[in-house]
Amino acid sequence: MLCMLPSILGTLIFFVVPYFRMVYYSLLDNQFRRNFVGLRNYIRVVKNQYFLLASKNSILLILLGVPVLVIAAIILSLFIRFYLEESRWKWIRYAFILPMFLPTAAVSLIWRELFSGASTALPVYTLYWWKNMGISIILLVSAFSSVNPEILQSAKIDGAGNIKRHIFITLPMNMPIIIFVTLLGIVNSFRIFKESYLFYGNHYPPDYSYTLQYYINNNFYKLNYQVLSSSAIITSLYVALLVFAFLKWQKRFQY
Amino acid sequence: MGLGMENKVSVLRGIALAAVIIMAGVFVVPVIMTCYRSAGHYTELLLDCFVLYPMFWNGIFYAVIISVLQMLVIIPCAFGMVSCSFRGKKVLFFVYVMLMMMPFQVTMLPNYIGLREMGLLNTRAGIILPMVFSPFGLVVMYQYMKNINTSIIEAARLETKSLLTVLWHGVIPQIKSCITAVFLFIFAESYNMLEQPLLFLKEEAQKNLTVFISEADKYSGEILFPAAVIYMLPVIFLFIFMAEDLEKGVHFGDF
Amino acid sequence: MRGYQKFAVVMVCIFAVFYTGCAKQERKQEGPSEVIKPETVYESEMIASMAAGKDKDIYIGLYNETRDIVHLMEDGKSETLGSVFPDDKTGNHRITSLYLDGDKTLYIAADIGYGSEVYAEVYRLDVTSKKMSKVKTYEQYHDINRIAMLKGELVMLAKSAKAAEKEPVLRDAFDIFQYQGEVIISQDGDVVFDEFPIMFAVMGEKEMLLYAHADNKGYCYAKAEYDGKKIELGEPDYQNLGQLTAMTMTGNDTFVYAATSFDKSGLQEFNYKEYTIAELQDSWGVITEPGDLINADGVIYYRVEGGVKKFVYEQVKKQNQTLQVIESEQISFLNAPYGCGYQMKIDRLSDDEMSLKMLSQDSDYDICFMQSDDPFGYQVKEKGSFYPLTDIKEVTEYLDACFPYIREAATDGNGEIWMLPVAVSADYLLYDEEMLRKYGIDKEKLSTLGSFIDTLKALPEETRECIDATSGCMERTYLPGFAEKDGFNNQEFKKAAALLKGIQEDGVFAYHQRAGDAVNMHKQDDFICGITMAQENTNEAFLSNPYVKAAMLPAVTDKDTFRVKCSFICVNAASDNLDAALEYVKSLCSYLMERESTMMLKDKEGYLDTELVKTLYDLYEKGTVTFGMPEELYYDAWEEYKKGSIDLDKMIEEAERRLKIYREEG
């Protein structure tokens, strides 16, 4: 209906058109000479060892960081929602969301002091978990609150232990929001660039922290828009694949 | 046996509670460190950096306007997506999710060109409009809306043809806490905008506080921290304000 | 959805896509232009002041023995109006300022006496009858260097010993105000304005534009009215135009001035409605001590070393021609090139903004000004973000007149000329042969880094102040060379690194004020040798000394070459104002060819005939232009190595790793 028009229009103009523009640019050889070269840029990018390194690191961040985040968030949310609801520690959930409000520059400075001797990508991972835990907990707690308490009561009466209760009732009922939290985690894993850059202080971090954004950013300064756009599109394609696979997998939990 | 079990359980619970409290403490440590390091530099910040004040209000202005406008845009759109079914709905939704994933580095250039051609560069509208149509809000709102009680909608439809009334009386009361939640996310996201004001605006007075903080070492190294504290305050206030609404909880629809 | 609604949505979407997807471009046509050279009107080394009349005749006061006033008439003839002070037997009168009122009355201000007993007198000379009479003696003032007639009275800018005791408050690091006691006085000798005036220009019967310095707020200008007793200031506008030494109005909102300024010199014109500055004459030879500048009915007269020159304002000032220049925030050693009459609006951009502007092919900038040690310059060449200058005759002429390696650097892989080099600079070893002999230093020992360091360390302690080779400067000179050529993983670098680390705490390689001043500020005797990139034409003392010479830096490898840094401009192919930009390039080429001795031109005739310049010429003749690598590739690792936190091998490993990423990621 027409009520959808403003949103679709806006998204079209400000997001879809730029995306296709980017696709167009990725098919050229050079921003300034504009010769059409088809898929040559994509092949070049895929063969580039640093693109592969960057992809590996980014995917690793998703595959390692996101599950840990989601599982920890679920455990914490369950605990907060069901055991702290009546106690005076209810406000603790808000302590977790505080990190989201702190600006990047301040955080990076502090992180530098805390992790000055790190030799793995741990600082970046902890930064990621620290920043995103709050939002996940808020969302999950809010969703868990909507579970009908009668169902849980009846399960208790039936003799199900606490943990079992939650695994088989609460979680499946809230699968959509868990999926959403996972998706959000994936999206935010791409947004961790600025913090990481300020932490390392330069554009060439150690190999284990060299993610896709560094690759893209460095090529931006080299006026290499072709590499930038092809790698961005490749990234969007395999993220799309990931999301698609994930959605299909969770259909098993539909009820 | 019953008594012993209960003791064990409460001990376990006690340990778990302590663990959560410690975790929360750890989460809050950087925030406390920021506050601590900001002491003593407030006069320097508040009296010497005049540019802080317009930037602060700009940040709030952008966040409020973007959040409000986005609400106005996505509620009808989500409602439309829920009420009508048309071919390609799933595809449309998938496209929205994909667009949500794009990091800014990548879309920066086409966005810049688009804004330039529309004459919106160096204007506030050029910052506000793209964010108003950001797909994130729509995705979340759509999920929430999927689970509303359609019978109320039907009843409202019988009463009046006006879409506005249907929305106002039928839909909105049901999703009040969703609106709060989404409003908060979008507010936080727009308040944290960094690259857009930095690159798309020329005049310092139009930029927001995040930009000020990222450039804080132009003035003096230490005013970063008091600026960060001031930066956090509005969002924390807003959050405290709206925290109750969040607790009501709403069921998220399936994907 | 109902049918027509679907249709409406689709149509609107299509329209939106097309509207946002199509680019718009406009081009403006500008007329041709060339560099107008000013004419020399009068030559003399002894000019004290000048005044001009409506009939385009000029009066020039000399400080020769007879204190002549020369009257130059329009037709080129000149007559001397005889010495001004016939009763002056002691030769104590020195002309400080002239002012022509109407056509016939010339006011002359002169200083009498010296030191703390100096005072001023003003005389009136009737030009036709050549009769002189004294107007007044001003015991408390001296050095009147500006006279004007407002409301029928004389108003003068003079210096007062008493006022000189006031200390002004400077605004910031760019505020170079120096107060010598300037005040504005009336004919009767009363002070009518004493709040740090600097210079003024007459705007009308009783109005003037006054440039002054306000305590703590810095340089400002304001319209001012003289009511017979005091000067009433209008609303001041704060603009740092530098320490103005002369100014004259050229229009309702514009004035031309000469100033000693932080970044510009020469004759500029400031438009205070639009806040734009246009360069009318470059700094070459323009006097920036209190000199005279006169706008006589559209002809601008100004003083240069050795004479007076003039040019027609309308011909030089390109009306409404502004060029938008972008420069990187990393520009360090030179200012934007001379404007050739165009208004150059300069924007300093960060790396992000530069990349964005270039990649998006912004049409709102015309010229990009960069330096060869900025890695961005290299990208511009590689990616083709420029308008090729190959077909412009003046450019090829100019490049042919330059050293061959400069032309090569300006040509890209496809044979197109992608930039116009405007200046060069290089690090070299500067030494004084006589001083070397005095301390028994063998020049050969200075030719390799190891022996250079050892030799200097072995010198007696009292010579330390005469050496200008700081450890920081040496690092910044040598390290980029390795990054640009063979990398760090070789014997030469290991040797050089050990040497450079070893001089960190050594007092010989710390900063020495005396030697630094000697190089930069014309002092002569306190200098043995040093590593510098001072331009040869800044130090007159060195120029006149036949023993001061230049040589290549102490070598670290046996393949060392003379590395030259070049600053250049590129024209934006997508610019709105492309024709004007190209005309500017042509003008700039002719200007650069006239400049001579820029260390880029082959023709030896243009260079000064001194030892220093000759040796520099030999060095520059065989130089190479190198394009820089980002410092962050190796500098962090180097700092860590210096501190001792990592050893040399780790430093090399890290720097090489980053170099590899830089080279291969794109």
- Read off the amino acid at residue C666: G
Instruction: Work out the pLDDT band at C261, boundaries 50, 70, 90.
Output: low
Domain count, chain A: 2
Which chains, if any, share at least 3 CB pairs under 8 A with chain A?
B, C
DSSP tag of C553: P
Nearest CA in chain A to C658: A204
Cβ distance B140 to A104 less than 8 Å, yes or no, reads no
Structure tokens at A40: 């040559």
Q: Are C230 and C245 in contact (CB under 8 A)?
A: no
What is the spatial distance between Cα C61 and Cα C49, in angstroms, rounded to a whole number? Answer: 5
Cβ distance A32 to C384 less than 8 Å, yes or no, reads yes
3-state class of C235 per DSSP? coil
Same domain, yes or no: A233 and A209: yes
Cβ distance B34 to A110 less than 8 Å, yes or no, reads yes
Nearest CA in chain C to B80: C1
Domain contains A43: no
- pLDDT at residue C31 in the model: 38
Q: CB neighbours (10 Å) of residue C135?
A: 14
Structure tokens at C586: 């042509």
Structure tokens at C655: 């720097």
Domain contains A170: yes
Domain region containing B141: 60-206
Same domain, yes or no: A145 and A195: yes
Instruction: Work out the pLDDT band at C524, boundaries 50, 70, 90.
Output: low
- pLDDT at residue C238 in the model: 81
What is the spatial distance between Cα C567 and Cα A205, in angstroms, rounded to a whole number? Answer: 31
Interface of C with A in 572-611 (CB under 8 A): 573
Domain contains B237: no
* CATH code of residue A187: 1.10.3720.10
What is the spatial distance between Cα C267 and Cα B140, in angstroms, rounded to a whole number? Answer: 63
Interface of C with A in 184-243 (CB under 8 A): none
Which chains, if any, share at least 3 CB pairs under 8 A with chain B?
A, C
Domain contains C357: yes
A interface test, pick of B29, B75, B105 with most A CB neighbours within 10 Å: B105
What is the spatial distance between Cα C222 and Cα C203, in angstroms, rounded to a whole number? Answer: 12
pTM for this one? 0.78
Q: CA distances (Å), C537 to each of B204, C109, C541, C552, in order?
A: 40, 34, 10, 18
* CATH code of residue B186: 1.10.3720.10
Cβ distance B117 to C24 less than 8 Å, yes or no, reads yes
Q: Where is mean pLDDT largest: A221-225, C70-74, C528-532?
A: A221-225
Interface of A with B in 191-230 (CB under 8 A): 191, 193-194, 213, 216-217, 220, 225, 228-229
Cβ distance A223 to C379 less than 8 Å, yes or no, reads yes
Looking up tokens 């001083």, which residue turns up?
Answer: C435
Which chains, if any, share at least 3 CB pairs under 8 A with chain C?
A, B
Of the candidates C1, C20, C22, the beta carbon closest to that of B84 is on C1
Share of chain B above pLDDT 70, in %: 91
Domain contains B104: yes
> What are residue C443's phi and psi, to 5 degrees?
-60, -30
What is the spatial distance between Cα B125 and Cα B49, in angstroms, rounded to a whole number? Answer: 26
Pairing label, strands C141-150, C276-281: unpaired
pLDDT digits (tens, 9 = 90+) for A148-163: 777 777 777 776 666 6
- pLDDT at residue C17 in the model: 60
- pLDDT at residue C26 in the model: 36
- Chain B residues within 8 A of A244 when measuring between CB atoms: 94
Distance from the Cα of B111 to chain C's closest Cα (Å) equals 10
What is the spatial distance between Cα C561 and Cα B100, in angstroms, rounded to a whole number? Answer: 53
The chain-wide mean pLDDT, for chain A, equals: 82
Of the candidates C17, C21, C666, the beta carbon closest to that of A222 is on C666
Distance from the Cα of C356 to chain B's closest Cα (Å) equals 7
Cβ distance A223 to C658 less than 8 Å, yes or no, reads no
What is the spatial distance between Cα C314 and Cα C53, in angstroms, rounded to a whole number? Answer: 19
pLDDT digits (tens, 9 = 90+) for C383-400: 888 888 998 899 999 999
Cβ distance C657 to A204 less than 8 Å, yes or no, reads yes
DSSP tag of A13: I
What is the spatial distance between Cα A65 and Cα A130, in angstroms, rounded to a whole number? Answer: 11
Give first-to-last CA distance, chain C, whole Å. Answer: 48
A interface test, pick of C379, C631, C665 with most A CB neighbours within 10 Å: C665
Same domain, yes or no: A1 and A102: no
Domain region containing A164: 49-253
Print the SS3 string covering chain B.
CHHHHHHHHHHHHHHHHHHHHHHHHHHHHHHHHHHHHHCCCHHHHHHHCCCHHHHHHHHHHHHHHHHHHHHHHHHHHHHHHHHCCCCCHHHHHHHHHHHHHCCHHHHHHHHHHHHHHCCCCCCHHHHHHHHHCCHHHHHHHHHHHCCCCHHHHHHHHHHCCCHHHHHHHHHHHHHHHHHHHHHHHHHHHHHCCCHHHHHHCCCHHHCCHHHHHHCHHHCCHHHHHHHHHHHHHHHHHHHHHHHHHHHHCCCCCCC
Domain contains C541: no
Domain contains B40: no
Domain contains A44: no
Q: Are C107 and C91 in contact (CB under 8 A)?
A: no
- Chain B residues within 8 A of A133 when measuring between CB atoms: 27
pLDDT digits (tens, 9 = 90+) for C135-144: 888 888 988 8
The chain-wide mean pLDDT, for chain C, equals: 80
Domain contains B152: yes
Residue B104: closest CA among B36, B192, B30, B195? B195
Q: CA distances (Å), C568 to each of C261, C340, C381, C665, in order?
A: 23, 16, 12, 27
Q: Are C112 and C139 in contact (CB under 8 A)?
A: no
Q: Are B38 and B225 in contact (CB under 8 A)?
A: yes
Print the SS3 string covering C199-222.
EEEECCCCEEEEEEEECCCEEEEE
Rounded to an integer, the average pLDDT of C295-305 is 81
pLDDT digits (tens, 9 = 90+) for B198-222: 888 888 778 888 888 888 776 666 7
- pLDDT at residue C27 in the model: 35
A161 touches chain B (CB under 8 A): no
What is the spatial distance between Cα C326 and Cα B218, in angstroms, rounded to a whole number? Answer: 21
Cβ distance C360 to B109 less than 8 Å, yes or no, reads yes
Cβ distance A145 to B249 less than 8 Å, yes or no, reads yes
Count Cβ–Cβ pairs < 8 Å, chain A vs chain B: 227
What is the spatial distance between Cα C335 and Cα B189, in angstroms, rounded to a whole number? Answer: 41
Looking up tokens 């050990």, which residue turns up?
Answer: C498
pLDDT digits (tens, 9 = 90+) for C354-381: 888 888 888 888 988 888 888 888 888 8
Domain count, chain B: 1
Same domain, yes or no: A27 and A72: no
Instruction: Work out the pLDDT band at C188, boundaries 50, 70, 90.
Output: confident
Nearest CA in chain C to B116: C362
Nearest CA in chain C to A41: C666
Same domain, yes or no: A89 and A126: yes
Question: Which segments in chain B show pLDDT lower than 70?
Answer: 1-6, 218-221, 245-255
Print the SS3 string covering C471-522.
HHHHHHHHHHHHHHCCCCCCHHHHHHHHHHHHCCCCHHHCCCHHHHHHHHCC
Domain contains B247: no
User: Does the pLDDT of residue C600 top 80, yes or no?
Assistant: yes
Structure tokens at A166: 């939650």
- Chain B residues within 8 A of C352 when measuring between CB atoms: 198-199
- Chain A residues within 8 A of C636 when measuring between CB atoms: 201-202
> Domain boundary residue among C139, C155, C175?
C139
Domain contains B202: yes
Same domain, yes or no: A106 and A23: no
- Chain A residues within 8 A of B80 when measuring between CB atoms: 1, 3-4
Nearest CA in chain A to B255: A176
Interface of A with B in 16-35 (CB under 8 A): 16-19, 21-22, 25
Cβ distance B113 to C360 less than 8 Å, yes or no, reads yes
Domain contains A12: yes
- pLDDT at residue B62 in the model: 93
- pLDDT at residue A246 in the model: 76
Same domain, yes or no: A60 and A113: yes
Rounded to an integer, the average pLDDT of C26-32 is 37
Pairing label, strands C428-432, C420-426: unpaired
Count Cβ–Cβ pairs < 8 Å, chain B vs chain C: 21
- pLDDT at residue A68 in the model: 93
Same domain, yes or no: A208 and A179: yes
* CATH code of residue C580: 3.40.190
A92 touches chain B (CB under 8 A): yes
pLDDT digits (tens, 9 = 90+) for C450-494: 888 888 888 888 887 788 888 888 888 888 888 888 888 888 889
Distance from the Cα of B50 to chain C's closest Cα (Å) equals 16
**ipTM for the complex shown:** 0.85
C352 touches chain B (CB under 8 A): yes
Residue C396: closest CA among C414, C415, C413? C415
Domain region containing C404: 322-420+573-597
> Domain boundary residue among C115, C139, C163?
C139
Same domain, yes or no: A1 and A66: no
Domain contains C556: no
Residue B197: closest CA among B215, B185, B183? B215
Domain count, chain C: 2
- Which residue(s) pair with A255 in the sheet? none
What is the spatial distance between Cα B65 and Cα B72, in angstroms, rounded to a whole number? Answer: 11
User: Does the pLDDT of residue C523 top 60, yes or no?
Assistant: no
Domain contains A80: yes
> Domain boundary residue among C93, C122, C139?
C139
What is the spatial distance between Cα A213 and Cα A129, in angstroms, rounded to a whole number? Answer: 18
> What are residue B106's phi and psi, to 5 degrees?
-80, -40
Domain contains C406: yes
Cβ distance B114 to A18 less than 8 Å, yes or no, reads yes
Of the candidates A1, A9, A221, the beta carbon closest to that of C1 is on A1
Domain contains A63: yes
Of the candidates C20, C24, C356, the beta carbon closest to that of B109 is on C356
Of the candidates B111, B135, B143, the beta carbon closest to that of A11 is on B135
Of the candidates C352, C353, C360, the beta carbon closest to that of B116 is on C360
Of the candidates B27, B74, B224, the beta carbon closest to that of A105 is on B224
